[in-house]
Amino acid sequence: MSVSLLNEQDYYRIVYGGWLGKNIGGTLGAPVEGTKELLELTFYPKLPDGPLENDDLDLQLVWLHALEQYGPGLTASQLGQEWMEHVFFPFDEYGYALSNLRRGLLPPVAGWFNNPLTHCMGSPIRSEIWAMVAPGAPEVAARYAYADAIVDHAGGEGVYGEMFFAALESAIFMEKDRDRLIEIGMRCIPADCRTALALKDLLRWHKEGHSWTETRKLILEHHGDDNFTDAPQNIAFTILGWLYGESFEDAILKSVNCGYDTDCTAATLGAILGMLLGPEGLPEKWVAPVGDRVVVSPPIKGFPAPKNLDELTRRTIRMGKQILAACDTGIVVHPELPTSWSRDAAIVDESAIRSLWETKPTSNRYLLPQGTIASPDAELIIDYGDAGPAIGTGQQAVVAFAFTNRSLVALEGTLALAVPQGWKGPTELPVALQPGETVNWTAEIEASDTVQSSNRLEWIWTRSHDNSFWSEQRVAFTLVRASRWTFSGPDGALPQEAYIAGNRLDWGCVGEQQDGVYRASTTLYNPSERELRLIAAANGPVTLKLNGETVIACEETLEFMPAFHRAPRKQLVELTLPAGVHEVEVEAKRSGKPLEVYVLPVSARQTSSPGPFYFVTGVQWGV
């Protein structure tokens, strides 16, 4: 392998410029986030005394801490653990993923299950850290970005957005041509994903000579979404500013003036241009207000965050040196020798990236023994299927296990499941595997009448040698409680009882096809009196009755937004809910499109710990 050299001063300059540009763009866009109209900003809406706090940077500080804690072998599950320890944001997909992690689910399942917001911008905004610790190695940056994104966006466009930006930004260390950089990023995402299609159209419209405002309009017409955080439209707005901008200032202003998720678009483009130009190339009028400070949002806590951009840059580079060596990139950071690249930035091993796209978000993969980073003795895949990791009282769930011998010797033993008391599981399965062989085991699990919000099970591999017990390995996994509801449709048919795996009401058991009024009823068990925000987010008129009293009455069709912190005011109620069992009735009107209704119990704004509007996992439905 030929060796490439990255001069340490060049490394510092590019990384520092990227973090500085991130602060500039985030500070510019944060005050107008969510504005969908064409804007006319010419400078910061509010002149800050230092940069404004922004989750775009906050989360990357946590990921830097994760790298320092776990090293280059950092996994998605470890990132999920960091999230539970240090991130108390309830925002959109963050809130759903955190609720799953708290109940014992692991990425990618934790990022996919019961999550209607996987196509959003929460992960594309976190790309820079992976690019900066994998300078000149786009595939490596994209793989880290994938591990990050599946924590809260598995199966969605948010994953592709982060992989695109991470690969592009990593390539900046050895490539400066804008069009080639965009091409490198696009090689790391599926050609037919919504993000790629939006970018292809953007490039074509720019080439055809449309003005930037005309192109913005076309993006919204062909790739737009009512949710201002939807990723494809915002990623296109980010690159639009780069294509049409005549300077750093002009570029970030065009991007932010497209509206929508403005702190994200301006911050990411600011980072890209900061990496390209270096700190010395950024205009003083934009640099002076933000300075060198790092401001951390209060819900990000519990770890030593960098105090300024210099510390952030040095810690980033320290981890980058370790990752370049551990990933065998052939890239060496040198304190004196000049930067010299022996590889072509445009050569990306797409086959290695493609395997990530093809990984099912419904399954978790384990290398055994647990903690193994490479060359495992065995591999286990647990697949919950499209139904997800849920089970109802007295109901069955089917979980598929694929156990592969990755060692160089034959393995013999048995597979078994340990289930909660009173539940029924499969009988143990004798196994004899040659190196490279796989046994597929489909297990039927039946719950008792006692099903908790979160239920721990264990897959058990008992290895034998010379017809005697040799060793045992256990992998814990979780099934969450499915909820029992009674559904009825507008055709007058008898109500039907069914279980739902998450919080989305599903009238499929009554053949939800025609317009009209649909109803669903259940019970809610609250273990202790508490302040609660009860949400019935719907894409049409919706009412919710609690113990016979109407507490939500939304008679109009609003933007569908099943987010814990920003559901429409007319589709939520805040109340003190006594302990005990409560009757819940939901009525929703379908008109011209499939009905979407999420019923969500979250905390109030004012909490002692850990933060506002988090999902209340102790509430049980259908008791």
pLDDT in tens, 295-319: 999 899 999 999 999 999 999 999 9
Average pLDDT over residues 439-450: 97
User: Of the candidates 600, 115, 151, 74, which has an alpha carbon nearest to the alpha carbon of residue 319?
Assistant: 74
Q: DSSP labels for 216-246?
A: HHHHHHHH--SSTTBHHHHHHHHHHHHHH-S
Are 219 and 303 members of one domain? yes
Residue 588 falls within a domain, yes or no? yes
CB of 175 closer than 8 Å to CB of 181: yes
CB of 353 closer than 8 Å to CB of 186: no
* The pLDDT of residue 434: 98
Are 448 and 503 members of one domain? no
* The pLDDT of residue 344: 76
* The pLDDT of residue 346: 63
Half-sphere CA count of 587, side-chain side, radius 13 A: 14
* The pLDDT of residue 493: 84
Residue 416 phi/psi, 5° resolution? -150, 165
Residue 347 phi/psi, 5° resolution? -85, 105
* The pLDDT of residue 345: 65
User: Of the candidates 249, 253, 248, 218, which has an alpha carbon nearest to the alpha carbon of residue 236?
Assistant: 218
Are 382 and 503 members of one domain? no
- Rounded to whole angstroms, how far apart are CA atoms 441 and 443? 6
- Domain boundary residue, one of 481, 513, 532: 481
Angle between helices 92-102 and 76-86 (to 10 degrees): 100
Is 414 exposed, middle or buried, given 0-12, 13-18 or 19+ CB atoms closer than 10 A?
middle
- Rounded to whole angstroms, how far apart are CA atoms 91 and 106? 19
pLDDT in tens, 124-146: 999 999 999 999 999 999 999 99
pLDDT in tens, 156-179: 999 999 999 999 999 999 999 999
Are 156 and 305 members of one domain? yes
Are 90 and 231 members of one domain? yes
- Rounded to whole angstroms, how far apart are CA atoms 215 and 236? 10
Domain, as residue range, for 66:
4-355
Q: Is the pLDDT of residue 610 over 80?
A: no
HEC profile of 252-313: HHHHHHCCCCHHHHHHHHHHHHHHHHCHHHCCHHHHCCCCCECCCCCCECCCCCCCEHHHHH
- Looking at this protein, which amino acid is placed at residue 317? I
> In this structure, what CATH number is given to the domain that contains residue 123?
1.10.4080.10
Band of residue 350 on the pLDDT scale cut at 50, 70, 90: confident
Are 443 and 544 members of one domain? no
* The pLDDT of residue 435: 98
Question: What does the DSSP 8-state code read for residue 341?
Answer: -
User: Strands of 572-577's sheet, edge to edge?
Assistant: 572-577, 530-538, 597-603
| Domains: count for the chain | 3
Burial 45-80 (b: 16+ CB within 10 A, else e): beebeebbbbbbbbbbbbbbbbbeeeebebbbbbbb
Are 251 and 322 members of one domain? yes
Are 96 and 220 members of one domain? yes
Are 590 and 507 members of one domain? yes
Are 293 and 347 members of one domain? yes
Considering the chain, what percentage of its residues have pLDDT values greater than 90? 92
Residue 360 falls within a domain, yes or no? no
Q: Is the pLDDT of residue 609 over 90?
A: no
- Rounded to whole angstroms, how far apart are CA atoms 434 and 437? 5
> In this structure, what CATH number is given to the domain that contains residue 396?
2.60.40.10
Are 477 and 495 members of one domain? no
Is 361 exposed, middle or buried, given 0-12, 13-18 or 19+ CB atoms closer than 10 A?
buried
Q: DSSP labels for 104-164?
A: T--TTHHHHTT-TTTTBTTTGGG-HHHHHHSTT-HHHHHHHHHHHHHHHHTTSHHHHHHHH
Residue 333 falls within a domain, yes or no? yes
Are 238 and 261 members of one domain? yes
- The alpha-helical segments, DSSP class H, found in 157-211 are 157-171, 178-186, 194-207
- Rounded to whole angstroms, how far apart are CA atoms 578 and 64? 42
CB of 71 closer than 8 Å to CB of 87: no
Tell me what the pLDDT averaged over the chain comes to: 96
Strand partners, 576: 531
Coil, strand, or helix at residue 531? Answer: strand
The pTM assigned to this predicted structure is: 0.97
In whole angstroms, what separates CA 379 from the centre of its chain?
Answer: 25
Band of residue 489 on the pLDDT scale cut at 50, 70, 90: very high
- Domain boundary residue, one of 434, 456, 481: 481
CB of 281 closer than 8 Å to CB of 177: no
User: Of the candidates 277, 267, 329, 273, which has an alpha carbon nearest to the alpha carbon of residue 135?
Assistant: 329
Q: Using alpha carbons, list the distances in angstroms from residue 186 to 195, 376, 482, 595.
A: 9, 32, 39, 34
- Rounded to whole angstroms, how far apart are CA atoms 542 and 565? 19
Residue 40 falls within a domain, yes or no? yes
Q: Is the pLDDT of residue 440 over 90?
A: yes
Strand partners, 472: 462
Band of residue 449 on the pLDDT scale cut at 50, 70, 90: very high
Q: Using alpha carbons, list the distances in angstroms from residue 303 to 59, 101, 318, 329, 559.
A: 12, 19, 18, 30, 37
Residue 138 falls within a domain, yes or no? yes
CB neighbourhood size of 443 (10 A): 20
- Domain boundary residue, one of 481, 513, 547: 481
- Rounded to whole angstroms, how far apart are CA atoms 83 and 257? 32
- Rounded to whole angstroms, how far apart are CA atoms 550 and 585? 9
Coil, strand, or helix at residue 519? Answer: strand
> In this structure, what CATH number is given to the domain that contains residue 571?
2.60.120.260
pLDDT in tens, 28-87: 999 999 999 999 999 999 888 889 998 899 999 999 999 999 999 999 999 999 999 999
User: Strands of 411-418's sheet, edge to edge?
Assistant: 390-391, 468-481, 454-465, 411-418, 429-433
